[in-house]
Amino acid sequence: MSSIRLTNITKRFRDIKVFENIDLTIHDGEFFTFLGPSGCGKSTLLNLIAGLEEVSGGKIYFDNQDVTHLPPAKRDVAMVFQSYALYPHMSVFDNIAFPLRIKKMDKGLIKTEVERVASVLGLHDLLDRKPRELSGGQRQRVALGRAIVRKPRVFLMDEPLSNLDARLRIEMRAELKRLHQKLGTTIVYVTHDQAEAMALSERIAILNNGVVQQCADPLSIYSRPANTFVASFIGTPPMNIIETVVIEKSSPVLSLGKKRYKLARADTLNFERVLLGVRPEDIEIKPFSREGIEGIVEIVEPEGARFLIDLVFDGISLKAISDESFKSGDKVYIEIPEEKIHLFNCDTGERIEITYK
Ligand SMILES: Nc1ncnc2c1ncn2[C@@H]1O[C@H](COP(=O)(O)OP(=O)(O)O)[C@@H](O)[C@H]1O
Ligand SMILES: [Mg+2]
């Protein structure tokens, strides 16, 4: 078990800078995720921690040991990839046993260890099979088993569930979480899937444009996104973000199309314009209301337990989620609860903290 500290990490491929001055600490035993769009450098960062890539600048520590220039084999990490990378000609047993055989562990001990891991992962009845005789989910479990059997200081997982279909992905997600609770080993996880990151992680670092946009626990990221990138990246459908003019600053009133939106409880807002964010699940739609904004239902998408609803008023489009169904063309009233709104700086996209009276 180990904590991991990245200090001032910079990585360039020739003259292309992937990221610069990354500083963060992953705690001992933590389930920590790097989340970001494809190409933002997640795999590169994981490879730096594994020692598969060299840093261009900065240092990496495991606990207090400087591992920056240590080769992968000496770092005592186990990696699990999207492609399972199993040996096709070997049985499940031999695949899991492989790292222990390399260590020249005693045969009897290998058997005990492989069986222990197989029972943790529910692979007991499959030990004699070859990888081609397994489903995708079973193969990924074998790949996990091969990582676990080594009892590494740290697990590094690069989109390990991406090759699985949607249903299996959700099943394996719960299994990974159970596994982490059982083993308590530090896991550094990489994904582009925000729902997966939210479900699994104790903390998430969101990467974009070579910069950590926010690093916090899932609920803080959801409820207080640091900027518009994070706000739109987390949550499905993404947060609605509307440009508004600040009509009154001292007891703030914003323009919303031709309507006005009063922040009844907020203190002075010293901006000319702001971006107003509201999540689809925080919008309330009512057939009748005195305070709401009058709008029209454009599209309704049933999801079973809830409905995704596209609304429009004054040329502004909003996505909402409702328990109630409406029909396309319905006239409705849209309520945006003040305590649910987010404000962002129009120029920088940074979150503006609302101060209340
Ligand atoms: N070996 C390499 N040589 C040159 N550029 C690379 C190399 N590996 C990755 N890159 C570039 O670095 C960036 C980040 O890649 P990667 O870490 O694979 O992103 P992610 O895993 O987030 O999709 C991309 O622009 C990619 O093209
Ligand atoms: Mg990648």
Residues 251-278 have pLDDT tens digits of 999 999 999 999 999 999 999 999 999 9
Separation of alpha carbons 323 and 290, rounded Å:
21
- Work out the number of other CB atoms within 10 angstroms of the CB of residue 259: 15
pLDDT of residue 335: 95
Confidence at residue 1, expressed as pLDDT on a 0 to 100 scale: 73
Model pLDDT, residue 82: 82
Q: What confidence score (pLDDT) does residue 314 get?
A: 94
pLDDT at residue 278 in the model: 98
39 alpha carbon to ligand 1 midpoint, in Å?
6
Per-residue pLDDT, 294:
95
Task: State the distance from the centre of ligand 1 to the C-alpha of 165, rounded, in angstroms.
Answer: 25
- Specify the ligand 1 atom closest to the Cα of 37: 22
Ligand 1 pocket (Cβ < 6 Å) reads 13, 18, 36, 38-44
The ligand that comes nearest to the alpha carbon of residue 56 is 1
42 CA → ligand 2 middle, Å:
6
Handedness of CA 85, 87, 89, 93 (dihedral sign): negative
pLDDT, tens digit, 9 for 90 and up, residues 75-117: 999 999 888 789 999 999 999 999 999 999 999 999 999 999 9
pLDDT in tens, 8-64: 999 999 989 999 999 999 999 999 999 999 999 999 999 999 999 999 999 999 999
Report the alpha-carbon distance of residue 4 to residue 187 in Å, rounded: 10
Q: Could you give the CA distance from residue 188 to residue 83 in angstroms, rounded to a whole number? A: 17
Lowest mean pLDDT among 61-65, 221-225, 352-356: 352-356
Ligand nearest to the CA of residue 35, numbered in listed order: 1
Q: Nearest to residue 8, comparing CAs of 52, 44, 61?
A: 61
What percent of the chain has a predicted confidence (pLDDT) above 70?
A: 100
Q: What is the 57 CA–ligand 1 centroid distance (Å)?
A: 17
Asked if residue 242 lies in contact with residue 256, where contact means CB atoms within 8 angstroms, the answer is yes
Domains of the chain: 4-232 (3.40.50.300), 236-352 (2.40.50.140)
Any idea which of 52-56, 158-162, 166-170, 283-287 has the lowest mean pLDDT?
166-170
- Interhelix angle 136-148/166-183, nearest 10 degrees: 20
Residues with CB under 5 A from ligand 2 (ion): 43
| Integer angstrom CA distances of residue 308 from 64, 96, 238, 300 | 50, 45, 12, 6
* 223 neighbors 277 (Cβ within 8 angstroms): no
pLDDT of residue 253: 96
- Ligand nearest to the backbone CA of 53: 1
